[in-house]
Structure 1
Amino acid sequence: MALYESTPGGTYKSIAADLGINRATLREWVLRDRERRGVTTATAKPAARPREAASSADPDERVRQLEARVAELEASERKLATERDILRKAAKYFAGETNW
């Protein structure tokens, strides 16, 4: 949810594809999260704003933003690690297949 909200120009389709999940599932998660936070659809995904504006929010909101960012980065790290492992396995496979 935080990834979708924090990605300027990101669509449900593109973010869902990056995460390897169904577009409708991501949309449902985002809508539930917005409902939980009491965010209206008119203010749900504003254009990218400078980092300085985010720092002027109240401390609890800033903590929530930072926690969401940490979760986003951890998810990205897991995805990159998985991709790296797949590439390593593919490289080993293809290195064994070549008979020079």
Structure 2
Amino acid sequence: STATVRLKVSRTYLSDIAFVAGNGRLNFLTITESRLKTIPSTIVHLVALETVAITKSPIETVNLWLFSKLTRLYELNLCSNKILFLQLPATAVGDFASLRLLFL
């Protein structure tokens, strides 16, 4: 099936979330007003993501490498968090292949 799959988690006490390997169906992920302090490292498993919005949460550190291999990722929105540190390790050709919009 080529159906668009979205997950929206809003106004929750969620402080951690894990995504399983092999998830090739989730296209849009929105997490807002959570208790996440970091980007879940397992987000790398969501290979079909086109848009990620993790907003209005107490996120302080963002490792942008977690998003670098998501070849379909077009938009990344991390607005209204409490970001103090952005980490961007060395990148390779093809990293952030489709990323066009980055909101901090």
Quick check: TM above 0.5? no
More relative contact order, 1 or 2 (CA 8 Å, 6+ apart): 1
Between Structure 1 and Structure 2, which shows a larger proportion of helix residues?
A: 1
Structure number with bigger Rg: 1
Between Structure 1 and Structure 2, which shows a larger proportion of strand residues?
A: 2
Q: What's the TM-score, normalizing by structure 2?
A: 0.22
